[in-house]
Amino acid sequence: MAKIKVKFACMECGTESPKWLGKCPGCGAWNSMVEEKETVVKTTGAAGAAVFQTKEKPRSIIHIESDQEPRIDTKLGELNRVLGGGVVPGSLILVGGDPGIGKSTLLLQASHSLAASGMRILYISGEESVRQTRLRADRLGSLSEQLYVLCETNVESIREAIESVEPALVVIDSIQTVFDPNVQSAPGSVAQVRECTSHFMRIAKIKGVATVLVGHVTKEGAIAGPRMLEHMVDCVLYFEGERHHTYRLLRAVKNRFGSTNEIGIFEMGESGLREVANPSELFLSERPLGVAGSTVVASMEGTRPVLVELQALVASTNFPSPRRMSAGIDHHRMALIIAVLEKRMGMFLQNQDAYLNVAGGVKLDEPAVDLAAAVSIASSFRDAPTRPFDIIFGEVGLTGEVRAVSRAEQRVREAEKLGFKRVIMPENSLKGWKPPSNIEIIGVSTVAEALRAALG
C-alpha cells in the first residue's frame, strides 16, 4: 500500500512543516497552515508515459535550430502588447485578478477571436456549467464553431479532452478548481495547485499547446496558493482595476518571451471589454482647467507614453501630525517630495495635510513623475493654478536638482499629438534629439526653476 504522508502547508506561500504552526515561518501569515494528506503514487500507465515521457536525447545547443516559431495573434492589440507580440505556442500563462474584474470575460473574448480565425480553442470551466458559459458567450457575442467548451475539474479528464480536441490554445478557468485524483487533498490546496500546474506545464511543453490558467487572488492581491505557481509558468498577468471604474489594466509581472513594462488598457461595457486605443486622451477627458493642484505628467508604460493627470490637495490641519495620503503613487515617494519642498523651497508644510491622487485609477511607479507631483503640491499650497496646456516630467533628487529621465522624445511627441503647448522637463534630457518646432520646451535643472516656470 502507498504510504500516506501528513504535513502542514501555508495557503499563502506554500511553506511546508511537519507540524502545525500558528505563524508561517516563510511569509509571516497567521492561521494559514492547513493539514494535507499526500499519497505517493507512481504513474506507470501507458497514457501517463505518453504524456510525461519523451524520447529526445540531449543535444548540443549549437546544433539546435534557432528559428522562431510565429506567435499566435489574439486579435486583441492590448493583449498582444502585454504578451510581447502574441501567445507563444507551448507557453504556460497565468492570469490573476480580483473576483469579478473581468478575467473570464477577457479570455472568452480572446478565445472567440482565435476561433473565428480558424484555430481550435478549448475553454475548460470548473466554476460554470456549459450552459452558463453559453449564456455569457451570447451576451459577449463570442460564438464560434471552433470554440469548444467543457465543464470538468479532473485533471485526467482534461488531459483526455486535450488529446481528443487537439486545440491550439487551452483555457483553464480556474486552476483552484482542478484536482488530481492521485493527490489526497482538497481542490485549491497547495499540493493540488502545484501538481495540477505541473501536469499542464508538461502537456504544454511536450504537445506545444498554449495553456492559460486563471488564478484567484488573496485579499492582499497576490495569486492564491503557493508563490511557486508563479515560478512554474512562463508568463504572469495581473488584471487590475476598481469595480467603480470602467477601465481595466492588464499588467505583466513576469514574461519569459517579452517585456514586463507593458500595460494593456480596456474599458468594461455591456458587451464585454473594449480596447482603449488612446489612453492619454481617455485619462485627460475630464480634466478641469485652471484649478490649483492639477498638473499633467508624461509617464512611460513600457514603450508607450501615457499622459495622466495628477491632483494634489494641501489643507491646514489642527492635529499635531499632518496626514500624508496618496493614491496611485508610492506614499514614501510623496513624503520625500514634501521633504524636498520644505527644506529646499522653504515651504512650511508641517501643519498641512497633503493628498495626492492619480486620476483614472492608474498606478505610476517611475521616478519621472516626481517633478509633476512637486509642482502639484506647490500649486495647491500657494493656491496658484498651472497653465492648462503644460506637460511636466522629471526626477527630483534630495538636493532639489531635477535629473534626466529616459525616452524624453517620445513623451514630448505624445504631448504634441494631444495639443499641449509647453513642456517643462529636465535640461539634461534635451541632449541628442531635436524638439518639435510647434511646442515650447523649457529645460530646468532645479525644482526652484520648475516652480518659477510653472507657477510664475
Beta-strand runs (E) in 129-286: 147-150, 169-173, 210-215, 235-240, 247-255, 263-269, 272-275
Strands across the sheet with 147-150, in order?
A: 147-150, 121-125, 169-173, 210-215, 92-97, 235-240, 247-255, 263-269, 272-275
Beta-strand runs (E) in 15-168: 16-17, 33-39, 92-97, 121-125, 147-150
Q: How far is CA 306 from the centre of its chain?
A: 16
Tell me how far apart the alpha carbons of residues 442 and 340 are, in angstroms, rounded to a whole number: 21
Strand pairing category for 402-403 and 422-426: unpaired
Strands across the sheet with 4-10, in order?
A: 16-17, 4-10, 33-39
241 is in an annotated binding site: no
272 is in an annotated binding site: no
- Omega before 437 cis (within 30°)? no
Which residues are within 8 A (CB) of 451 and not within 5 positions of it... i.e. 6 or more apart? 345, 374, 375, 378
Strand pairing category for 272-275 and 304-316: unpaired
Residue type, 120: R
Beta-bridge partner residues of 252:
237
205 is in an annotated binding site: no
Which residues are within 8 A (CB) of 301 and not within 5 positions of it... i.e. 6 or more apart? 261, 262, 263
CA proximity to 354, closest of 338, 343, 369, 339? 338
100 is in an annotated binding site: yes
397 is in an annotated binding site: no
- Rounded to whole angstroms, what are the CA distances from 202 to 48, 102, 158, 175, 228? 11, 28, 13, 15, 16
Q: How far is CA 193 from the centre of its chain?
A: 22
432 is in an annotated binding site: no
- Rounded to whole angstroms, what are the CA distances from 243 to 95, 128, 249, 314, 381? 18, 22, 12, 28, 32
361 is in an annotated binding site: no
Indicate the SS3 state at residue 92: strand
Question: Is the torsion defined by CA of 229, 178, 73, 302 positive or negative?
Answer: negative
Tell me how far apart the alpha carbons of residues 171 and 214 are, in angstroms, rounded to a whole number: 8
Q: Are 231 and 195 in contact (CB under 8 A)?
A: no
406 is in an annotated binding site: no
Chain position carrying cell 500563462: 93
Q: Are 312 and 356 in contact (CB under 8 A)?
A: yes
> Which residues line the annotated binding site?
97-104
> Which residues line the annotated binding site for ATP?
97-104
